[in-house]
């Protein structure tokens, strides 16, 4: 396991009473570097498949244009660039010693009608950190690579983490048969994008290893803003249960069936929705959402006969998440029983929680403390490429405050000062890790694999 000693800089930002960072308290170049990141986020937002909104799916001309910009910025930061077989863009910055690199980055694809910071912020902050090393002609004891994943959101082929799953050799070759809305297969899209579909079919033909992964990302929620903190350290990425629920009764005429003779599933569903809200509030750290609900057949003068709904339950502790799901199923069955309603309960997805690496997380926390900002650890309720990469290497994440908690929306925003704090914290993180590695050339951590798979260089 790593042990760390964070670099203590001569200056540290001051956080005002309202949670804003006072610009004069940041390191002298932090705002300049933060401004460059913000400008680059704005430049990348020009590359879209839709003229009136930001939509950048995998394998599209707009993604290629964004990659071209990012590749140029990587090269100006002293990195050599390459594209792997699925189209991930990777910039390499040599260290004083060879060996598995530390991986930084995030993704460049977006959801439909997206904001300009989700994914892009993490890529550009990572470039800023490497650029800072290059400008000082500084090499760390280990190599550093910045990855801009080609697909995390899954907008085009409706399967997330294509880029990071390929990087670790976790793609099943059957994904090549997936089709987009136009009928184009993933295999065809890979080839058009300049990738190598055969490498996806035979991932063992090449190998790629890395020692750890650190991702900067906007929070996508309101917690840091509520706490008036510019950044936060991620403790874990929450596990997720998705459940298809259906209450079935008896449809009938709205005017002729007496109230005491009805088997109306909508009332049962309404009671269940409130039970979900109450149970999640009582389970600390849990969130639960009924995101879709329908009354079938859906006529104003017909008593519903069936009400399907979706249930999404998340928690960073899988035991508590499963207990909450069992409790909610018991509640649903009790509600259905009291109302003479049939219940359908089907688990659609069960994704385990991912704990961030304790050693890397401790280093990030020390680095944030060294900037002068209070340290707060929080779970991520959203998924990230770190989920995939954690299967073979230690991961850590730094969150940046998200204005009003809005994400996956054009109003998504972060402040210049908070971005500057994030860059400063990651500078200190890298320095602390380098100080530890002065004792030896190998950047290794518990759980790091030797044979992670990726595309040809």
What is the rounded average pLDDT of the residues 360-387? 95
Q: Roughly how many angstroms between the first and final C-alpha of the chain, as a whole number?
A: 29
Structure-block tokens of residue 451: 């044979």
pLDDT exceeds 80 at position 453: no
Q: Return the domain boundaries, the chain.
A: 14-237+353-437, 239-351
pLDDT above 70 as % of the chain: 89
Rounded Cα distance between 103 and 209, Å, is: 10
pLDDT score for 333: 98
Burial-class residue 252 by CB neighbours within 10 Å (0-12, 13-18, 19+): middle
Distance CA 454, CA 200 (A): 9
Convert the pLDDT of each residue in 398-408 to its tens digit.
999 999 999 99
Q: Model confidence over 84-137: pLDDT tens digits?
A: 999 999 999 999 999 999 999 999 999 999 999 999 999 999 999 999 999 999
Record the tokens describing residue 290, joined without a space: 């009924």
* Rounded Cα–Cα distance for residues 102 and 58 (Å): 25
For residue 203, what is the enclosing H or E element? none
Q: Which token pair is 295?
A: 């009354």
138-175 tens-digit pLDDT? 999 999 999 999 999 999 999 889 999 999 988 888 88
Dihedrals phi, psi of 408, to nearest 5 degrees: 55, 45
Tell me: the pLDDT tens digits for 29-84?
889 999 999 999 999 999 999 999 999 999 999 999 999 999 999 999 999 999 99
CATH 3.30.70.360 fits 239-351, yes or no: yes
φ, ψ of residue 69 to 5 degrees: the values are -65, -45
HEC states along 208-225? CCCCEEEEEEECCCCHHH
Compute the distance between CA of residue 417 and CA of residue 229 in angstroms, rounded to an integer: 11
Using one digit for the tens of pLDDT, what is the confidence trace for 261-304?
A: 999 999 999 999 999 999 999 999 999 999 999 999 999 999 99
Could you write out the three-class secondary structure of 412-455?
Answer: CCCCHHHHHHHHHHHHHHHHHHHHHHCCCCCCCCCCCCCCCCCC
Note the pLDDT tens digit of each residue in 340-361.
999 999 999 998 999 999 999 9
Reported CATH class of domain 14-237+353-437: alpha beta
Beta-bridged to residue 80, according to DSSP, are 92
């Amino acid at each position: 396991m790593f042990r760390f000693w964070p670099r203590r800089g001569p200056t540290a930002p001051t956080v005002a009473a309202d949670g804003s960072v006072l610009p004069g308290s940041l390191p002298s170049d932090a705002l300049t570097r933060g401004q460059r990141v913000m400008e680059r986020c704005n430049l990348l937002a020009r590359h879209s498949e839709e003229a009136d909104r930001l939509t950048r799916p995998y394998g599209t001309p707009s993604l290629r244009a964004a990659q071209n910009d990012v590749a140029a910025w990587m090269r100006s930061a002293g990195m050599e660039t390459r594209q792997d077989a699925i189209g991930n863009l990777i910039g390499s910055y040599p260290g004083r010693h060879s060996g598995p690199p530390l991986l930084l980055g995030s993704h460049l694809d977006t959801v439909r009608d997206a904001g300009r910071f989700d994914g892009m912020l993490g890529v550009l902050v990572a470039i800023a950190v490497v650029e800072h090393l290059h400008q000082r002609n500084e090499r760390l004891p280990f190599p550093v690579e910045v990855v801009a994943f080609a697909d995390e959101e899954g907008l085009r082929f409706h399967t997330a983490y294509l880029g990071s799953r390929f990087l670790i050799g976790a793609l099943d070759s059957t994904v090549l048969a997936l089709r987009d809305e136009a009928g184009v297969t993933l295999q065809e899209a890979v080839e058009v994008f300049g990738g190598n579909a055969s490498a996806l079919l035979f991932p063992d033909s090449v190998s790629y290893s890395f020692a750890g992964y650190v991702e900067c990302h906007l929070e996508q929620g309101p917690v840091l803003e509520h706490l008036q903190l510019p950044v936060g350290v991620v403790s874990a990425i929450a596990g997720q249960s998705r459940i298809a629920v259906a209450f079935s009764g008896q449809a009938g005429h709205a005017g002729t069936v007496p109230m005491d003779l009805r088997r109306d599933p909508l009332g049962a569903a309404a009671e269940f929705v409130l039970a979900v809200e109450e149970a999640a509030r009582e389970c600390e750290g849990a969130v639960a959402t009924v995101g879709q609900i329908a009354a079938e057949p859906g006529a104003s003068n017909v008593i519903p006969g069936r009400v399907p709904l979706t249930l999404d339950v998340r928690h960073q502790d899988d035991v508590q998440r499963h207990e909450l799901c069992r409790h909610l199923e018991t509640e649903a069955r009790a509600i259905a029983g009291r109302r003479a309603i049939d219940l359908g309960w089907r688990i659609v997805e069960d994704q385990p929680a991912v704990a961030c690496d304790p050693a890397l997380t401790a280093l990030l926390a020390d680095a944030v403390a060294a900037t002068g900002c209070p340290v707060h650890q929080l779970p991520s309720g959203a998924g990230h490429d770190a989920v995939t990469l954690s299967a073979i290497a230690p991961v850590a994440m730094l969150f940046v405050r998200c204005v009003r908690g809005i994400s996956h929306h054009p109003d998504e925003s972060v402040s210049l000062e908070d971005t500057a704090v994030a860059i400063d914290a990651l500078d200190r993180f890298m320095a602390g890790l380098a100080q530890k590695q002065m004792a030896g050339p190998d950047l290794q951590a518990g759980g790091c694999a030797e044979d992670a798979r990726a595309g040809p260089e």
